[in-house]
């Protein structure tokens, strides 16, 4: 019972806290937050007595927000600046969206007043359409002018952003899709990828192909395109050079470690004797017997095969317009081959299960140097990706 009362008190306090925070949003002019919180609560249960305050808050916040937004729109229209079209368009859409979210909740009954809450809805569809037309014209003209007067790639990217937004609010407007493609092609950085091997070791062909396949890197970089096989019809902006300076491969090693293991194991049974050396009897007169234990011993020999490779180099960017190196970053990678097996002499009952498992394994052939380099490829690829993500061109 006490637990139930405690939970009830906590629930009431939590509810009061939610109303208080929503009221604070209303009082400080954060009408959108007050509207969102009220709609969220009323969507859960609009007839709950504890949610009555949210109806009053929603009614007040809706009216005040609409008044403020319409006054702001009136000012922006009076300012007569085409750059304001987006703000006006978004404001009308916000007003319409709020109405659309409140409408499914209606009617909202005010218990104290014995009537439904009042919301003065307005149809903003004509305003949205008219503003969208003006905004579309503005975005199209502005992006077209930017395309024709662009000085650098950032100008093309700004035009691309405007055109993508235009296509979002007004799909297939004029030749927007064609201009989007033009802006993208002129705004993207084309990078020629080069792989250089300054070591005395051979880089496996499959590893070269994996490293140069930038489609598998998951870079998600809109404005950078990497080509391992340069195309004649593209003027490349940068070269990305992945250079290997040193590849160190250790000798094949087998190390041995000996363990001496002892354990008490059950070995038959024995009689329990009293102080005089006679066999003890239980209450039924039977001889008392107990398990007999003895210490067993085993010499365990664990062998570890090991071979490792360390690769070092650099990842460098070159500006092909100036033929200057712009940045260079160290690249390191490694791979360790390790295999364990074991044998023993003595009583294997002294060994734990993980030791016993090793005794079932045998020595295996060491990987070739070429295989070691290839096995380091996954780590190498991740390190190259980390450099490309951390030090983007744009």
Report whether 214 contacts 228 (CB < 8 A). Answer: yes
Report whether 236 contacts 190 (CB < 8 A). Answer: yes
Provide the residue ranges of all domains of the chain, joining segments of one domain with +.
Answer: 16-122, 131-187, 188-268+294-394
Residue whose entry in the numeric block shows the structure tokens 């160290």:
330
Q: What is the pTM of this model?
A: 0.75
The per-residue pLDDT for range 282-327, each reduced to its tens digit, is 888 888 888 888 899 999 999 999 999 999 999 999 999 999 999 9
The per-residue pLDDT for range 56-84, each reduced to its tens digit, is 999 999 999 999 999 999 999 999 999 99
**pLDDT value of position 6:** 40
**pLDDT value of position 5:** 42
Find the range with the poorest average confidence among 3-17, 256-270, 343-357: 3-17
pLDDT mean over 373-377: 94
Tokens of 365: 């052939």
The per-residue pLDDT for range 30-48, each reduced to its tens digit, is 999 999 999 999 999 999 9
pLDDT at 8 over 50: no
């Amino acid at each position: 019972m006490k637990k139930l009362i405690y939970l009830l008190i906590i629930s009431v306090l939590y509810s009061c806290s939610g109303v208080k925070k929503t009221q604070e949003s209303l009082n400080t002019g954060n009408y959108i937050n007050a509207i969102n919180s009220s709609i969220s609560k009323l969507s859960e249960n609009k007839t709950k007595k504890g949610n009555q305050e949210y109806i009053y808050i929603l009614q007040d916040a809706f009216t005040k927000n609409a008044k403020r937004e319409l006054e702001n729109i009136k000012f922006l229209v009076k300012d007569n600046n085409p750059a304001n079209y987006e703000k006006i368009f978004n404001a009308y859409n916000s007003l319409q969206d709020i109405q659309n979210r409140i409408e499914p909740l209606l009617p909202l009954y005010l218990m104290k007043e014995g009537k439904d809450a009042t919301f003065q809805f307005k149809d903003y569809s004509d305003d949205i359409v008219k503003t969208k037309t003006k905004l579309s014209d503005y975005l199209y003209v502005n992006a077209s002018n930017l395309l024709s007067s662009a000085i650098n790639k950032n100008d093309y990217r700004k035009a691309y952003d405007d055109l993508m937004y235009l296509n979002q609010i007004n799909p297939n407007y004029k030749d927007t899709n064609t201009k989007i493609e033009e802006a993208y092609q002129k705004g993207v950085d084309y990078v020629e990828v080069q792989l250089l091997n300054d070591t005395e070791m051979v880089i496996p062909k499959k590893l070269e192909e994996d490293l140069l396949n930038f489609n598998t890197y998951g870079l998600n970089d809109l404005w950078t395109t990497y080509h391992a096989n340069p195309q004649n019809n593209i003027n490349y902006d940068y070269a990305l050079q992945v250079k290997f300076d040193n590849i160190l491969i250790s000798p094949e090693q087998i190390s041995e470690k000996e363990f001496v293991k002892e354990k008490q194991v059950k070995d038959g049974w024995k009689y329990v004797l009293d102080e005089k050396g006679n066999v003890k009897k239980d209450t039924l007169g039977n001889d008392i017997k107990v398990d007999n234990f003895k210490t067993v011993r085993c010499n365990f020999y664990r062998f570890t095969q090991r071979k490792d490779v360390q690769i070092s180099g650099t990842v460098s960017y070159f500006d092909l317009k100036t033929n200057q190196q712009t940045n260079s970053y160290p690249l390191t990678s490694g791979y360790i081959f390790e295999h364990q097996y074991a044998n023993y002499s003595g009583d294997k009952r002294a060994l734990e299960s993980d030791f016993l498992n090793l005794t079932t394994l045998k020595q295996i052939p060491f990987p070739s140097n070429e295989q070691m380099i290839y096995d380091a490829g996954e780590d190498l690829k991740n390190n190259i990706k980390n450099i490309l993500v951390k030090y983007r061109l744009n």
